[in-house]
Amino acid sequence: MATYSDLDGIAAAAAIDEARLWSHLVGFGEIGGIGGGGVCRLALGEEELAARRHIASWAQSRGYRVFVDPVANLFVRREGTDPGAAPVITGSHIDTQPQGGRFDGAYGVIAALEALAALDGASVKTRRPIEVVAWTNEEGVRFTPGAMGSMVFSGALALSDIAGRRGSDGVTLSAALASALAATPQATFRPTVPPIAAYVEAHIEQGPELEARGIPIGIVEGIQGVRWFDIEVSGSGAHAGTTPLSRRRDAFQDALRIVSALNDWTSDRGDVLRFTVGRFDLTPNSRNTVPARASLGIDLRHPDANVLREKGDRIAAIAAAAARYCAVSVREVFTKAPASFDAAVIGTIEAATRLLRIPALRMSSGAFHDALFLNDVCPAGMIFIPCEAGISHDPAESITSVQAAAGARVLAATLVALAGADGDVR
Ligand SMILES: [Zn+2]
């Protein structure tokens, strides 16, 4: 038997307006647009403040209240019938990479605003309030660390510890936050975090899987874990013309042996494990000098904690054994265990896709998202939509209006289910 949530979820999904959503996405992408479909909206910068103003005035014109917190996370609140109930939160980020695309982050915010408009259009009342959030500084380009807004919100990071930091342009974080708060004067300052019923984030996949399989929705079960290692290879500098090969301690040649051995160690027939040497520096990096030192930055990722432990724990020993002439030191500089999203939220998203008869695939996220940190403080989940060729963090990032609307429909029905239709028995 269909519940009120089901009926209201179908009604809300049906009220998603594909053309309205698409023109909102395209128009929003012009804020900080750099041509060729690209966007540069660095966190708390002028263009990003313009995007905040746009969201706040959109909300105000539709009668929603707007809130802002100490780290300038921006919330648009649609009230529920039970004013004391903990809200369901949905959203993503509106900052971009310097040469970013129009949809990374922005899709999750604009699709969530469309979901609010659809709930209104279908006259759906929910018991819980629904809040759309734009998290501050997910990308971590101008200020570090990334996911700053969601980390501070969830208590993973204290704002007082980072407020004095300077951005890449020399502006302090506290000054940049003050200008962001001033940009939306209609927002009520909310210094403390309210209890949250659930969090769901819609996002482009930023990978090729959904498109390759022709599936419109990804139900994200978790975010893979990551370990970062710095490897230093120390040999001896020497003249490239006078030093016989037999007398060299060439750090570059040993670094090649190390990378080759690690490629073997991390090769994965299932192509799930991600091993990247993303940074490589030589000293002195001069054509006619045998390199004295090589420095490698390694990124290792896998959704299974056991695999991540097994593969990562042997990296130091394999690197040391592979070097023939040089000393090797390996240091682990960052680690984040794989995260699993809440089973009930995953099930609610899956139920929404069935209700709407939209094909969906359960999958793991290869990239970090704000939802990773929300997952520590409330039941959380994510909805992916495909993006063209998996390209992201690039002006070529692209989705279709049909894909955008399908994700918004699933999001709307999921929000109704999480927030509870007013008529449901509870
Ligand atoms: Zn993103």
Distance 337 CA to ligand 1 centre (A): 19
Q: How far is CA 385 from CA 94, 159, 173, 226, 336, in A?
A: 17, 32, 33, 23, 25
Distance 145 CA to ligand 1 centre (A): 14
Distance 367 CA to ligand 1 centre (A): 8
Per DSSP (E only), the strands in 205-342 are: 217-223, 225-234, 238-239, 274-283, 289-290, 293-302, 327-336, 339-340
Residues 362 and 387 in one domain: yes
Bridge-based pairing of strands 198-204 and 88-93 is parallel
Q: What is the pLDDT of residues 132-160, one digit of tens each?
A: 999 999 999 999 999 999 999 999 999 99
Q: What is the pTM of this model?
A: 0.90
Per DSSP (E only), the strands in 193-326 are: 198-204, 217-223, 225-234, 238-239, 274-283, 289-290, 293-302
Does residue 215 lie within any of the structural domains? yes
CB within 8 A of 309, min separation 6: which ones?
none
Distance 425 CA to ligand 1 centre (A): 36
Residues 175 and 251 in one domain: no
Question: Which residue, 154, 134, 138, 156, is CA-closest to 146?
Answer: 138
Give the residue from 336, 361, 394 where a domain finishes: 336
Question: Which residue, 155, 294, 321, 324, is CA-closest to 231?
Answer: 294
* Angle, CA of 138, 144 and 146, to the nearest 5°: 20
Residues 184 and 317 in one domain: no
Give me the residue label for tokens 């200020």: 143
Full domain range(s) for residue 251: 225-336
**Total Cβ atoms within 10 A of residue 160:** 10
On the CB side of 191, CA atoms within 13 Å amount to 0
Residues 39 and 148 in one domain: yes
Q: What is the pLDDT of residues 343-385, one digit of tens each?
A: 999 999 999 999 999 999 999 999 999 999 999 999 999 999 9
Distance 395 CA to ligand 1 centre (A): 14
* Angle, CA of 410, 413 and 419, to the nearest 5°: 135
pLDDT tens-place values along the chain, 426 residues long: 567 789 999 999 999 999 999 999 999 999 999 999 999 999 999 999 999 999 999 999 999 999 999 999 999 999 999 989 999 999 999 999 999 999 999 999 999 999 999 999 999 999 999 999 999 999 999 999 999 999 999 999 999 999 999 999 999 999 999 999 999 999 999 998 889 999 999 999 999 999 999 999 999 999 999 999 999 999 999 999 999 999 999 999 999 999 999 999 999 999 999 999 999 999 999 999 999 999 999 999 999 999 999 999 999 999 999 999 999 999 999 898 999 999 999 999 999 999 999 999 999 999 999 999 999 999 999 999 999 999 999 999 999 999 999 999 999 999 999 999 766 654
CATH code at position 324: 3.30.70.360
Query: Considering its fold, how many domains does the chain have in total?
Result: 2
Q: Which pLDDT belongs to residue 225?
A: 94
Residues 166 and 77 in one domain: yes
Mean pLDDT of the chain: 96
Distance 329 CA to ligand 1 centre (A): 34
**What residues pair up with 276 in beta bridges, in sequence order?**
299
Distance 19 CA to ligand 1 centre (A): 23
Does residue 271 lie within any of the structural domains? yes
Distance 41 CA to ligand 1 centre (A): 13
